[in-house]
């Protein structure tokens, strides 16, 4: 009985020496391109509109909430759940690590206050964005004793029915909406049925009401 020849050419599997440097450079170039799209509120709004069209979601621009005009009131149909899902999006500029102090906690707190007012008026979740990130959805709401400003916005904002719209440079997580510690919607996965509700707590007992 013959022996199995297990020899193979290791060089065929070896990556070029400059492979990782080139990957980092490509990532940086992509982030720089993204940053230009976030520079002004008008540019950020254009980016969000393109995203909504790509998802084939219906939307109304500059919708009057009674507490001011929100940038987008979205009406998305989910085939798997066979239902329409409504929510708002409020666009903000420079929500990216590429801009100094853009993700400052005080700045994000102002955004949260405005979005929470819109949410109360609409009785719908409202998402602030677009946020440029290279993180996965789960890293956008990491808790603990110390949290970064964006995680804090997602954790505390969720209790006021406010989340974030994230566009990632990580190809595994291109776009996602975060609400109350998990994905509200994620590219390739759709809507999370467990998050299709509003916080309606009026006392010490937590209460959630379906959108």
- Strand positions, DSSP E, 2-82: 58-64, 69-78
Residue 140: per-residue pLDDT: 66
Residue 7 lies in a domain: no
Largest CA-CA distance found in the chain, in angstroms, rounded: 84
Residue 6 lies in a domain: no
Residue 78 lies in a domain: yes
Residue 23: per-residue pLDDT: 66
Residue 3 lies in a domain: no
Residue 179 lies in a domain: yes
* Structural domain harbouring 180: 18-210
Residue 39: per-residue pLDDT: 77
**Counted domains in the chain:** 1
CA distance 139 to 180: 13
pLDDT in single tens digits along all 211 residues of the chain: 555 555 555 555 566 777 677 766 766 665 555 566 677 888 899 999 999 999 999 999 999 999 999 999 999 999 999 999 999 999 998 887 666 666 788 989 999 999 999 999 999 999 999 998 877 777 666 665 566 888 888 889 999 999 999 988 777 778 999 998 889 999 989 999 999 999 998 888 888 888 8
Residue 82: per-residue pLDDT: 93
Residue 15's CB is within 10 A of a number of other CB atoms, namely 8
Domain with 82 in it: what CATH number?
A: 3.40.1350
Q: 3-state DSSP call for residue 84?
A: strand
Q: 3-state DSSP call for residue 39?
A: coil
CA distance 179 to 163: 5
CA distance 41 to 18: 38
Residue 11 lies in a domain: no
Residue 113 lies in a domain: yes
């Amino acid at each position: 009985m013959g022996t199995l020849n297990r020899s193979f050419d290791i060089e065929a599997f070896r990556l070029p020496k400059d492979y990782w440097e080139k990957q980092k450079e490509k990532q940086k170039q992509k982030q720089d391109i993204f940053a230009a799209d976030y520079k002004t509120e008008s540019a950020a709004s254009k980016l969000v509109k393109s995203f909504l069209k790509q998802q084939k979601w219906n939307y109304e621009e500059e919708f009057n909430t009674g507490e001011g005009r929100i940038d987008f009131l979205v009406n998305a149909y989910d085939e798997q759940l066979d239902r329409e899902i409504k929510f708002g999006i409020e666009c903000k500029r420079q929500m990216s690590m590429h801009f100094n102090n853009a993700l400052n906690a005080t700045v994000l707190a102002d955004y949260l206050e405005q979005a929470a007012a819109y949410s109360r008026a609409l009785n719908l979740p409202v998402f602030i964005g677009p946020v440029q990130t290279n993180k996965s959805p789960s890293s956008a709401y990491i808790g603990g004793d110390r949290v970064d400003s964006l995680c804090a916005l997602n954790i505390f904002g969720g209790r006021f029915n406010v989340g974030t719209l994230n566009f990632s440079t990580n190809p595994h997580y291109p776009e996602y909406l975060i609400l109350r510690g998990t994905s509200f919607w994620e590219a390739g996965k759709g809507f999370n049925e467990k998050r299709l509700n509003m916080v309606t707590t009026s006392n010490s007992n937590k209460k959630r009401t379906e959108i």
